[in-house]
Structures are given as structure tokens and as C-alpha cells.
Amino acid sequence: MLKTALRNLLAHKARQIMTLLAVCLGVAFVSGTLVFADSAAEAHRAAASKNFADIAVSVSAKAPPPGAAANQKSSALDDALVRKLGGVPGVADVRPEVDGSAALNAADGTPLRVKMGANRASGYIPGKDGKDSRYPLAEGRAPADSGELAVDSGTAAAGHFSIGDTITLATDGPVMTKRLVGIVTTKDTRVTAGGTLALFDKATAQKLFSSPGHYTGIDLSATPGTDQSELSRRVTGVLPADRAEATTGAGQAAQQGILVNTLTRGYEKLPLVFAGVSLFIGSFLIINTFTMLVSRRTREIALLRAIGATRRQVSRSVLLEALLVGLVASAAGFLLGLGIASVLPDILSTDGNTLPQGPLVIGPRSVAAALGVGVGVTVLAAWLPSRRAAKVAPVEAMRTTEQPPSAKRSRIRAGVGLALLVVGAGLLVSLSGAKDASEKNLQNAMFGCALLVAALIVLAPVLASPVIRLTGRITGRFGITGHLAQRNALRDPRRTAATAATLLISTALVAGLAVIGNSTGQALDRQAAAGLGADYLISSRSDTTGVDPAAVRRVADTPGVRTAGAVTDSTLFTGGGVRRISGVDPSTVQDLMKLDFVSGSAKDLGPGRIAVSSTIARKNGVTTGGRLNVRLGRNQEFTKYTVVGVYKDNPVAHDALGARTEVAKNSYLPGSVQRVLVRTDDGAVSKTTEDRLRTAVGNNPLLKVQDREQFVQEAAGTMGDLLTLMYGMLAIGVVIGALGIMNTLAMSVAERTREIGALRALGMDRSGIRRMIRLEAVTVAAFGTLIGLAGGLFGAWAVGSLANGAMPQYSLALPWGTLLLVCLLSLVIGALAAAVPARRAAALSPLEAVAEA
């Protein structure tokens, strides 16, 4: 039987190439996305993880007890302690460290990869051999005084630094400049995954991140055979109990694991959705191809049966053939998938927003999925129709060339499809009344969308007829070729629908997300526009860093600036939770923030008097004139404040407003300024102004200078990430869709050689044949796109009304440009996909019309 299967495989090369291609692409898509998902998750993980592999115990300073003097912070970790720890039995090596963070400017003056947690800084602490084993030097020498700096090779490459350059950087306050003297390599994944590393000499680092003579931590490695927890107990014995503590490396790794898990969970979920859809599309492509081949296979099986093969022999031969095809194609597809996974991060990374980088991770899940799709689905797709074929009487199967789908089956299909549609749409519509975007509502929305897509796919063959008749009005303008193209597309609605399915899904996804993204973006825009009166916003990246007061004055004196208002950000503890309060100057705040007061005003802000947003007012049950018991910033005491005004929720003003002097007194960096809102003369926004403002704040990499548009974009940032991923998905979906169309058409052409030959014999020229095939492809593509568009828009509308509950400014805004682009793209794809089959069809000789069947 193996022989028959093998011979069968080789006998129908053209057909097998189609199948191989389909399986190969399906597997490539699935394994590509899964490997990408795993690699991306691993890279995100690496970006957030410190390696504890050779750390047995780390010693860190205990948080000072409340009320203690601030300068006592890390005084326990000094050189004396390091020496003492070196004497503890079982300790192999003592590695003190001074770690912190520092943001750098690239050579062109723009902030370099500035991101929370990605900008490491450390002291270069030479060991016994005069070198720091964590940072082997690649070039130059180690920093030796406060004017010198070393960076790692990745940072140097990204920032275009070379030895001798002067580099601008900041740790938490004003900018510093240092000369680059060395380039090191590091294995710290937090840096290699797309962060930066700055190395200072020991004294400078201690001054910046600790206090002179003190370290931020001490890592110990153990001699072989020493138990971590035993060592930890011994180390704890020599530590000053109230000021330092020891943790085992394993314990820290576990703790970090939990933290990293919560940080990266989102990154794992999204590519998995991606992979889920790809699994669906990949399986679909394979089943689709086999379904198309079924009529020919049916005849073949009938012939085998007629000459005496048993049913068992027939199905075994089919299974073997499918198994061989599946294995070969899966192997090829998996390799192709690795290719996709390795280029995907580059494609999806934009300049300002790089995905963390790391090696490809090939997990067992990817391999299992690839084999499951490649072999499992292939065998199933080949076996099911053959079983049906084997049941039919041989003579009957040989007689019928094409079995039209029975009316009963299409009625069942319509029924099932409609039921799915009603349930899915009903679920979505019922959600549109929901007031908030809670987890449960979102899950229901996702489920509803999935049902909707499933319904569309089930219904697609039923919808094919009316939709294609509609598009036929356009293709009909191309004369008989268009007419024939339309009829051919309608000839087998199931095949047309299956071919269009990939484009349908991709279009639905992209259209839906583009609409939601656009609407959200515009809502955020409106929100920000509603809240932000200023033209420029200068802000620090956290509450513990600030804009230095001198820089605020320089900003105010910058030419073109009319008003510059400093804002101090801090926290506000109400009974119900932690809120954010903005300390502002009551006289200029109305000019810089567009505050819409429900009652009261900002004029009366002052000591003991604050204004709150309407949400806070509602939650705490206060109104203007009422009193609110809150705790401000570092202040330990709850104090009663008078509410002088209630304003509509405002993303720029945050949850509450206070006088700046009042807020700054209790902020984390007393007297600091976190934001500067700038109004220019006549609201002018230009590159020159932006550059002047950057210069005014000393090009501090910790500060962001954004015009209104950039601020809005940042607010919509997460949505942007999602869209980028989805566009990547569309790209793959489109490629698969195009190849699917190509596959189907090539098969159709092969099946219709006689017909095409007859057309040629009757006087249709080659260009007419080409046009006919192309128009058919475009018709199929247009069908998929139209249905997908309809589904996507409906889904977006329904999910959007959910968002409406959470975002009052939300309203459905159609991104006409994007939608038009999607439509055009699909038509172009259709035409391109047809190129090869069209050429093959046009090359057919009119003699095909009289060839023996």
C-alpha cells in the first residue's frame, strides 16, 4: 500500500504542489506566530529580569523605620561589611554593587531608549584583579573619575557613541555631561533586550545612588556544596539586624518571577490571540484545499474500488499519502515559520517603540501545534472526504463529475449560520447597553466577536451569491470576460467562500480594530484637547524626578512662549484609595488647562482649599463648599480640606487640584516641579519652538517635551501597539489569502482546461482569458473583503458602545482612509494572486478543447 501511496503522490505532481504549499503555509503561519509569541514573551521577561544564577545570597539595606533620618538609608552596606562577609565560611566571592538608573541622550540629542526600568546605571567596582567581572571591557578603559563614563556595546551602537564623546545624561535631577572612556559588554538581559547601561566610577555611583562609601547591595556567591539557605543564616548572623537583611538567590528569583509574570502577562496574551487566529486560518487553508480536490479524488477512489480494492485498502492508502504530504510540508512550513518569527519583531518595531529583542524560543507548544496542524489537520482533511467517497457505490462516484451541494445541506448551513449570527450579534447588541468595560463584559464582547466571525464563515457560501451578483454589476462592465468571471466565481459558492475566508477574517480584524483605534484615538484627542489648554507639555517621567526650578524660569523666558505654568504632581489619599493631585498656580491654571467647572472655580485654591473632579466628588459624596478628609503626598496626617470647586473629569488636571505651594510642600521631592505647561504666542507649534524648549530644559533625557499632538499620541500608545501587531497579522493574513486565491485559481484553471480551450477555439484571445481569470480573483477577494468589512464594522460598533461607558468622549469614527486602503489592498492582492494562474490559462492551447478527458 505504501507503494500505491507513493506512486499516487508522484503521479499528480501539480496537485501535490498545491497541497504541499497549502499545508506548508498553514504550518508556517501557525508556527511562526507561536514562536514569535514565545520569543516575544521571553524577551519581555528577559527585559525585566535580573539573572540570579550565580548569586547565592544578596544583602540589602532594610527600609529605615518610619521617622528615621533619611541619611541613614544605606549606611550599613560599607567596605567594612564587605570585608566581614568575605570571611563568612562558604562564601566564595563578595560582589558589592551600586545600582540605579540613568537616562542618556543619543549622539543627536534625543533621549535614547528611555523607558521605565530599562535604563540601568551602575558603579564600576574593580575586584581583586582590578576588573569588574560583571562588565568585561570591550574597548577603552574603565571610568576612573566623576567626569568619565562607560556604556555597553548595545547602548553605544544605538546611541552612535564612540570613545571620547561627551554624553548628556541624567539620573534623577538636572543633566550632567560625561566623557565616554570605555565600552563594556554585559549579560544583563534587562540591558541586552533593548535597554541602556551607564557605568560610573565607584565614588560617583555611590554619590548618585547611595551615599559616599556605601553600596546599594552586596551579592555573595557560594563555594561549591554550600547550601543557599544555610549560607543565608550564617550571613544574617554577621549583619546588623536592624539595618540590613540577607535573601537567598533562589528566593529573590522566585520573587522576581512573580513580579515579572504580572508585568508580562499582557504581552503573552496578545500574541496568543494572534496564534489562535493563525491556527484557525492555517487549518482552514488546508481543509479548503482538500475539499477542492475531493471531486477528483472521489473519482480516483471509485476507480480503485471498482477494480477490487477494499474500503480499508483505499483509506489506508489515502491516509499514508496524507501523512507523507503532512510530514514533508510541516517540516518545510516550520522552517518558513522560524523565518517569519525572526523577521516579525523588526517589521513590528517602529523607531520610537522597539519590541524587546532576544533569541528565538522554540517551545514544545510550537512544535506540537505545527505537527498538529500540518499532519493532524492534513490527515483529517484528506480522510474525511475519502471516507464519504468510499461509501458511495463505485459506479455512481465515477459517473458524477461534480456533485452539487445538496439543498438540504445548504439549508442546514444557512440555519446554523443564522443561529450563530443571531447569538453573536445578540450578545454584542446586549452589551451595548453595558455601562462599563469590565473584564466580564470584555470577555463577552470577545466571545460575541468570535461567534460573529464564525457565523460569517458558515454563512459565506450562502452570502456569496447575492454579494457576487452585486459586484458583478461592476465586473460586468468588462464585457463577456467580466460576465464569465462572475459566473465562475459563483459556480461553486463553497469554494469561493472558503477561498475568501482568510481575507474575510483578516479584513474583519483590521477593519474592526482600525475603527475602534480611530474612535478611541479621537476620543482621547477630544479628551486631551478638552483638558489641555497648553500647546506644549514638558514633563518628568516620574514623581520622584523633577524639572529643576532654573529650567522652569528658562522655559518662561524662551522666545515665543507666552505663559509657562509649573505643576507639581503628587498623590492624594482619600478614604477610598490613592488619587493624583496636581499643584497649580490658581491664576494661570484656567489658561493652561481647560477646566470645566460644574460648580465653584479654581480661583479660591489655596492652603487648605482644593478642587476635585466630578468622579471624586461623586465617590466621596462631597460638593463645593463641603469638606474632604485626605492625606497629601508624604504627609502622614489626614487633614480636612475645603472643596472650592468640582470640575468635569480632566486627564491633564488629574483627580484633584491644589495650590502648587501647598502640594509641593508635601511632594516626594519637596519643592519640585513635575510638569510645565507652555502656551506659545498665537498657539504656534513648530520644530524650532520644540528645540528651544528642549534646550531650555538642558536636553534632559528624563524630561519629555511634547506638543499637543504627541501628548495625545502617547495617550493612545497602547492602542497603537495593538494596531501595529494587528497590521502585522493582516500582512500575514493577506499573504496567506493571496496564496489561497492563487491556489484555488490554479486548481480551477487545471479543472477548466477544456472550457478555456473552447473559449480560445471560439475566438477569445489570450488577453481576454487573462482578464477573465484576474477578474474572478478580484471578485473573490472583493467578496471576502466586503463581508469582512461588514463584520468588522458591526463588531467595532458593538464593542465601541462598550467603550462609550468608560470613555464619555467616545463616538464611532470611521477611518475612511484606512478602510479604503484595506479595500484597495484586497483588490490589488486579488489581481496579483491571479497573475500566475492567468498566465497559465492564457498559455493553454485551443486544442485543449478537443483533448481526450
Q: Which amino acid would we find at residue 204?
A: T
- Taking CB under 8 A as the criterion, the residue among 413, 541, 766, 839 binding another protein is 766
Minimum CB distance to another protein, residue 493 (Å): 13
Minimum CB distance to another protein, residue 26 (Å): 30
Class of residue 88 by CB neighbours under 10 A (exposed 0-12, middle 13-18, buried 19+): middle
Closest CA to 423 of 454, 466, 461, 462: 454
**CB nearer to another protein: pick between 73 and 495:** 495
**Which strand (E) or helix (H) includes residue 252?**
helix 249-306
**Which strand (E) or helix (H) includes residue 715?**
helix 708-715
Q: Binding residues for another protein, how many (CB under 8 A)?
A: 26
Region binding another protein by CB under 8 A among candidate stretches 173-181, 385-393, 683-691, 760-768: 760-768
C-alpha distances (whole Å) from 401 to each of 259, 340, 497 are 63, 40, 21
* DSSP conformational letter for 631: E
Q: Which three cell numbers stand for residue 639?
A: 487633614
- Taking CB under 8 A as the criterion, the residue among 328, 429, 823, 849 binding another protein is 849
- Taking CB under 8 A as the criterion, the residue among 11, 688, 765, 824 binding another protein is 765
What is the 3-state secondary structure of 392-437? CCHHHHHHCCCCCCCHHHHHHHHHHHHHHHHHHHHHHHHHCCCCCC
**CB nearer to another protein: pick between 814 and 849:** 849
Q: Which long-range contacts (CB under 8 A, 24 or more apart) does 345-351 make?
A: 345/36, 345/39, 345/40, 345/43, 347/728, 347/731, 348/724, 348/725, 348/728, 350/724
- Taking CB under 8 A as the criterion, the residue among 398, 758, 823, 827 binding another protein is 758
Q: Which three cell numbers stand for residue 194?
A: 533593548
Binding to another protein by CB under 8 A, coded x per residue (else -) over 767-796, reads: -x----------------------------
CA distance 798 to 812: 10
Interacting residues of 480 by C-beta distance below 8 A, sequence separation 6+: 764, 768
Binding to another protein by CB under 8 A, coded x per residue (else -) over 431-470, reads: ----------------------------------------
Region binding another protein by CB under 8 A among candidate stretches 99-107, 363-371, 405-413, 757-765: 757-765
**Which strand (E) or helix (H) includes residue 817?**
helix 816-833
**CB nearer to another protein: pick between 828 and 849:** 849
**CB nearer to another protein: pick between 416 and 761:** 761
> Does 407 contact another protein by CB under 8 A?
no
Closest CA to 506 of 341, 734, 349, 257: 734
**CB nearer to another protein: pick between 273 and 758:** 758
> Does 207 contact another protein by CB under 8 A?
no
Q: Which three cell numbers stand for residue 247?
A: 535573601
Minimum CB distance to another protein, residue 400 (Å): 11
> Does 44 contact another protein by CB under 8 A?
no
Region binding another protein by CB under 8 A among candidate stretches 94-102, 198-206, 595-603, 840-848: 840-848
**CB nearer to another protein: pick between 11 and 847:** 847
**CB nearer to another protein: pick between 101 and 481:** 481
Minimum CB distance to another protein, residue 463 (Å): 19
**CB nearer to another protein: pick between 314 and 842:** 842
Q: Which amino acid would we find at residue 247?
A: T
SS3 37: helix
**CB nearer to another protein: pick between 585 and 755:** 755
- Taking CB under 8 A as the criterion, the residue among 48, 425, 503, 759 binding another protein is 759
Cβ atoms of residues 171 and 208 within 8 Å: yes
Minimum CB distance to another protein, residue 829 (Å): 24
Minimum CB distance to another protein, residue 745 (Å): 15
CA distance 339 to 573: 51
Minimum CB distance to another protein, residue 762 (Å): 5
> Does 764 contact another protein by CB under 8 A?
yes
- Taking CB under 8 A as the criterion, the residue among 10, 116, 763, 816 binding another protein is 763
E strand map for 547-671 = 561-574, 577-584, 597-600, 609-613, 627-632, 639-647, 656-659
Closest CA to 213 of 34, 78, 366: 78
Minimum CB distance to another protein, residue 772 (Å): 11
Binding to another protein by CB under 8 A, coded x per residue (else -) over 474-513, reads: -----xx---x--xx-xx----------------------
Cβ atoms of residues 705 and 586 within 8 Å: no
- Taking CB under 8 A as the criterion, the residue among 392, 761, 828, 832 binding another protein is 761
**CB nearer to another protein: pick between 483 and 541:** 483
Minimum CB distance to another protein, residue 336 (Å): 37
Q: Which long-range contacts (CB under 8 A, 24 or more apart) does 399-402 make?
A: 401/295, 401/299, 402/295, 402/492
In our burial notation (b when 16+ CB lie closer than 10 A, e otherwise), range 413-446 reads: beeebeebbebbbebbeebeebeebeeebbebbe
**CB nearer to another protein: pick between 53 and 762:** 762
State which of positions 512-531 bind another protein (CB under 8 A).
Answer: none
**Which strand (E) or helix (H) includes residue 802?**
helix 766-806
Minimum CB distance to another protein, residue 483 (Å): 8
Interacting residues of 120 by C-beta distance below 8 A, sequence separation 6+: 99, 101, 102, 188, 190, 191, 195, 196, 197, 198
Residue 668: how many other CB atoms lie within 10 Å: 17
> Does 762 contact another protein by CB under 8 A?
yes
**CB nearer to another protein: pick between 351 and 852:** 852
Minimum CB distance to another protein, residue 489 (Å): 10
CA distance 757 to 770: 13
Region binding another protein by CB under 8 A among candidate stretches 4-12, 73-81, 118-126, 845-853: 845-853
**CB nearer to another protein: pick between 350 and 400:** 400
Binding to another protein by CB under 8 A, coded x per residue (else -) over 737-756, reads: -----------------xx-
**CB nearer to another protein: pick between 490 and 716:** 490
Minimum CB distance to another protein, residue 404 (Å): 9
Minimum CB distance to another protein, residue 462 (Å): 19
Closest CA to 248 of 230, 223, 272, 267: 230
**CB nearer to another protein: pick between 144 and 849:** 849
CA distance 184 to 198: 10
What is the 3-state secondary structure of 204-216? HHHHHHCCCCECC
Q: Which three cell numbers stand for residue 763?
A: 475566438
Binding to another protein by CB under 8 A, coded x per residue (else -) over 359-398, reads: ----------------------------------------
Minimum CB distance to another protein, residue 494 (Å): 16
Interacting residues of 164 by C-beta distance below 8 A, sequence separation 6+: 179, 180, 181
Minimum CB distance to another protein, residue 773 (Å): 14
Minimum CB distance to another protein, residue 491 (Å): 6
- Longest Cα separation, the chain: 101
Which residues bind to another protein, rule: CB under 8 A? 479-480, 484, 487-488, 490-491, 754-755, 757-766, 768, 845-847, 849-850, 853
